[in-house]
Amino acid sequence: MTSPKPKVLLSWSSGKDCAWALHVLRRRSDLEVVGLLTTFNETVDRVAMHAVRRELVEAQAAAVSLPLFPIMLPHPCSNEVYEQRMRAAVAEAKANGVTHMAFGDLFLADVREYREQRLGGTGIEPLFPIWTTAEETSDLARTMLAAGFEAVLTCVDPKHLDVRFLGRRYDASLLAELPAGVDPCGERGEFHTFCFRSPEFKTEIPVTTGEAVERDGFWFLDLRPE
């Protein structure tokens, strides 16, 4: 009798890196991705940090045929409340047979260590399927584009990247224009994206751009479903 495959819950921000992580995970025969876990600002019903509308994330989940497991967070949200709600979500996932939680992190060691510490002792193991180095993210970005991934920049940190990049397609032209010191994948928080096309999506998710607003030192672009 064969053992059941490990069940993986994927942390899903709506951006290109988590979409790439799903693509990589689904090419592994030794595990099964069973859902997407997303944190939402409960006040505005948008993805925490990315500020993407929940209905667009639901469209992504439908496009990849996976259930979406939302974690609702207050705004502002203390680290204590965040960790409390994450612990509850992890416990529920464990009770439902989840064995691993995967993240689309690339190379920030402190972020990886934090996730490993938080999952320690929960019975759920962390996975980092697209972990790489800071020197290799340029190649990774080109690999994603060559594979057919398409995304739009929804958030920009103006301390590192000019606001004119907000709303730009994540493509070869954008990569060529990024200032020196900005990670090609935005891993240090220089920018965040919404992925609207992926080989894993049954259909492309059409979006239209709305208002750009500055909040808490970041610029956000409102995306709406077409």
Helix or strand or coil: residue 214?
Answer: strand
**Taking all residues of the chain, what is their mean pLDDT, rounded to a whole number?**
96
Q: For the segment 48-84, what is each residue's pLDDT rounded down to a tens digit?
A: 888 899 999 999 999 999 999 999 999 889 999 999 9
Give the closest residue to 185 by CA, choosing from 166, 195, 170. Answer: 170
Entry pTM: 0.96
Residue 222 confidence (pLDDT): 96
Kindly state the DSSP code that residue 221 receives in the 8-state scheme: E
Give the closest residue to 153 by CA, choosing from 25, 51, 82, 7. Answer: 51
To the nearest 10 degrees (0 to 180), the angle between helices 137-146 and 16-25 is: 70
Output phi, psi for 93, to 5 deg.
Answer: -60, -45
Q: Evaluate if residue 1 carries a pLDDT over 60.
A: no
Helix or strand or coil: residue 110?
Answer: helix
Q: For the segment 130-177, what is each residue's pLDDT rounded down to a tens digit?
A: 999 999 999 999 999 999 999 999 999 999 999 999 999 999 999 999
Q: Evaluate if residue 186 carries a pLDDT over 90.
A: yes
Residue 48 confidence (pLDDT): 86
Rounded Cα distance, 51 and 48, in Å: 6
> How far, in Å, are 46, 162, 187 from residue 108 at the CA level?
25, 23, 8
By percentage, how much of the chain surpasses pLDDT 90? 95
Give the closest residue to 75 by CA, choosing from 215, 225, 219. Answer: 215
What are the domain boundaries of the chain? 7-225
Rounded Cα distance, 89 and 25, in Å: 21
Give 39's pLDDT tier (boundaries 50, 70, 90): very high
Residue 2 confidence (pLDDT): 59
Please check whether residue 223 is in contact with residue 50, taking contact to mean a CB–CB distance below 8 angstroms. Answer: no
Helix ranges (H only) for the chain are 16-25, 54-63, 79-95, 109-119, 137-146, 172-177
Rounded Cα distance, 55 and 190, in Å: 25
CA-atom Rg of the chain in angstroms:
17
Q: For the segment 85-130, what is each residue's pLDDT rounded down to a tens digit?
A: 999 999 999 999 999 999 999 999 999 999 999 999 999 999 999 9
| Assigned CATH for 7-225 | 3.40.50.620
Selected residue with higher pLDDT from 32 and 48? 32
Please check whether residue 8 is in contact with residue 125, taking contact to mean a CB–CB distance below 8 angstroms. Answer: no
